[in-house]
Chain A
Amino acid sequence: MSLRKSLLCVLVASLAVPAVAGAQSYPEPKQPGPVEAPPKGPHKTYTVCASSRCDFKSIQKAVNRARAGDTIRVRNGVYREAVKINGRGKRYLKLIGNRSKPAKVKLLARGKMQNGIFVNDADEVTVDGFMAQGYRSNGFFFTNLNGYTMNHLIARQTGVYGLYAFNTIGGKMLNSEAYYVNDGAFYIGQTPPQAKPVRTVVRNVAGWGSPLGFSATNMRYVTITKSRFYNNALGIAPNALDSEKYPPAEDNVIIDNDIFWNNFNFHQGKPPFAVRSEGTAALAPVGTGVLLLGGRGNRIENNRIFGNYLAGVVAVEGILLAKNPDARALRNNVVQNNAFGLGGTDVNGFDLIYDGNGTNNCFSMTGVTSMFPADGSTFAGCGGTNAFSAAVQTQMIGWTGEGALAAWNKHPHPPKAGYAPLEVFGS
């Protein structure tokens, strides 16, 4: 068995434990279908707070009372509950906390609570102005639905993901922050393929202090823009895995973001979350801005990518797909017009790394100052078959997890107002 195959076997085996392991059992995924029509009014508004001035003292009780299209306003306070919004009877529900100061409306886990707010099979629900902390699984979790709005949310120290959409069509993640999450601060996965896609927009979010700032297994039709991903082990990772349906990641656009300082080696020190030694997060090559692990038709352009010790953008065959070999090849991806290295003051280890897998993957070299392989040979082939190198891929596999540190170009970062580099927590 070749070295590359041996390494691949190890990686695939390490994925045997999915990220949701240990979590509660969720509803079986189902096709979200067309978006439900808005319910006819009149609609009611309910209030929630600790005092008797409000209609309810519990968010869940208000949700249980509300009908489709109603609004629930939650006053400032700490709510120790796990809210479930389930079924079409709750479609178009609006759950409104404190939009300007989301941390004032805090969902704080107690015991084994899994999700701060969990929405299943209810289209176009809005959750706006909340903070979720300490949940075993996720801060805010939407699944099996068509259309959603997550706005002004904060997720901190949640067990798997911060803001999470799975098996959904369309939707918005806006003006939110997630940090100290033990897998992906943000995550969109298993988007059903669509003939006329409804796109999802992620705008003005910050994912930091986690293994992955944004994880995206088999994610489709998502635009990520005007956001910040920093101080993670890996900034953004559109990826292809067998553990979810519909591989690979496809038709995503990552544009006009700041992706920097993703050198958080959570394997060391005492990070403020339970470290996973298996699964996707453990494999993240520490020190990487963007990783395309397989994928088709993804665009990475007009981003500012700097200070990532291993690489700015990495593209590699979907090597973890054992059951879906047809989806492994990179196809029609575009990496162009990114500003690498902050004008030379905060370079990436390599601006670009690519194993040359696939066809019609196009990389603009404008502004690129370093690449792997150094001769740029694998970057040829835009418009046709790219120039695959097994040796390059083998080297890249060696850079998974902490293995990346062997290739780091570690250096001081110039000061950035409001930000401090995070490389090892609590050491």
Chain B
Amino acid sequence: MDGTRRSFFTAASSVALLCTIGGEEVSVSDRGDLRRADAAAARVKRPRAAVAQAIPQIEPAPGGTRREVWIQAETARLSVTPARRDEWHNRAVPGGRNAFTAFVYREMTAGFAAYKYGPSIPGPTLTAEVGDVLVVHFRNGDTKLRQAVTMHPHGVKYNPEYDGAYMGEYTRAGGFIAPGETFTYQWECTPDSIGAWPYHDHGPNHTLNTFRGLFGTIVVRPPGDRWPDRMYTLFAHQLPPPVTGLDRTFQCFNGHAYAGSTPILRSRVGEDVEIHAIGMDSNFHTFHIHGHRWRNAAGAFVDNPTFGPNETVTARFTEDNPGRWLYHCHVFTHQDAGMAGWYVVDP
């Protein structure tokens, strides 16, 4: 019976990832393919144009600051369902093993001296105001996969050196950071940067590495704008067997699946709450919070907006409804495979 169930989960939810890695096309549909993809990524040579860096320090706009962070990419073993229960349906989490090798961004102290937090998906949330320059000291700390990775931001302004994108022979300095190397990105926060945006790997093996967890959030506000009392970011993404080596696909928020393991959001009545939901796989999702409505960018009330890959929807509201609520993606095959969690509002 177990074998039948496992086969069902695998067949029902495992989709091959088609990755183009430095000129090689690799279809990743099982663990062997994963090794082949990593080997292909390790073979990608540094493009000539990606070597030089002679960019002066970019100064912030008047009133802005240079906000420096140190972020290291590295592999880590993470559990998808640490609670081992689906609290929504009050059952054990189906699907057997749940630990896998993720690829994550970790915030560190200056000079990469020490970790600030444990490994997690997503990476650190970078916050800034318009006029600031985000100065990201990035280190490829991977010692196992032996491939270049990067940080590519959405939403902010940058010159080609700081794009963080591998583009073959057109690759610039920030688009190929080999294992052990560091690179400092400078991203300008301009008035059109206001909002919540993803950043992610865009190196030679970006599709696979993004699926493994190399992504995070940038939040930019107008100068002096009031920050919400509570701010959360939820990445909707899947962890399929070819990426994890596990027996089934998990539909996740922030690297975890099923209420009890996904982030538990909390607030109090009267608080200003802001939740950003961002898509980080190849699917479209929706973001639904039970018992709550909010206005979208056009001013209309919504409670289940749709968002696609690397797209953000933001729910901001003044909390007025205490209780234990579900949040989830309303694509049914996602919510029932783990893309759900708790939102707890205290009176």
Contact = CB atoms under 8 A, between A and B. Distances in A.
Nearest to B174: A196
A198 B180 contact: yes
A255 B173 contact: no
Interface of A is mostly: loop
Nearest to A331: B57
Most A CB contacts (10 A, CB to CB) among B57, B110, B177, B181 go to: B110
B298 interface: no
A198 B113 contact: no
Nearest to A332: B57
A208 B105 CA distance: 37
B52 A195 contact: yes
Given A225-B111, A253-B110, A195 B180 contact: no
A285 B168 CA distance: 52
A391 interface: no
B288 interface: no
B239 to A, nearest CB: 30
A256 interface: yes
A196 B181 contact: yes
B178 interface: yes
Contacts of A33: none
Chain A interface bracket (under 10, 10 to 19, 20 to 34, 35 or more): 20 to 34
Contacts of B177: 196
A197 B181 contact: yes
B65 to A, nearest CB: 10
A255 B181 contact: no
Contact of B113 (A170, A196, A223, A332): A223
Interface in A228-264: 252-253, 255-256
B179 to A, nearest CB: 9
Contacts of A80: none
A240 to B, nearest CB: 19
A255 B180 contact: no
A201 B51 CA distance: 23
A136 interface: no
A32 to B, nearest CB: 13
Nearest to B182: A197
Contacts of A199: 111-112, 139, 182
Given A195-B51, A195-B53, A223 B112 contact: yes
A44 to B, nearest CB: 23
Interface in B7-64: 51-53, 57
Nearest to A257: B113
A35 B111 CA distance: 21
B127 interface: no
A211 to B, nearest CB: 25
Interface string B170-187: 000100011011110000
A199 B110 CA distance: 12
B181 A256 contact: no
Contacts of A332: 57
Contacts of B53: 195-196
B114 interface: yes
Given A195-B51, A196-B183, A256 B173 contact: no
B282 interface: no
B109 interface: yes
Interface of B: 51-53, 57, 109-114, 139, 173, 177-178, 180-183
The 6 closest A-B pairs by CB, nearest first: A253-B111, A223-B111, A225-B113, A196-B181, A198-B180, A255-B113
14 contacts: A147-B180, A196-B177, A196-B178, A196-B183, A198-B180, A198-B181, A199-B139, A203-B113, A223-B113, A226-B113, A252-B111, A255-B113, A301-B110, A302-B110
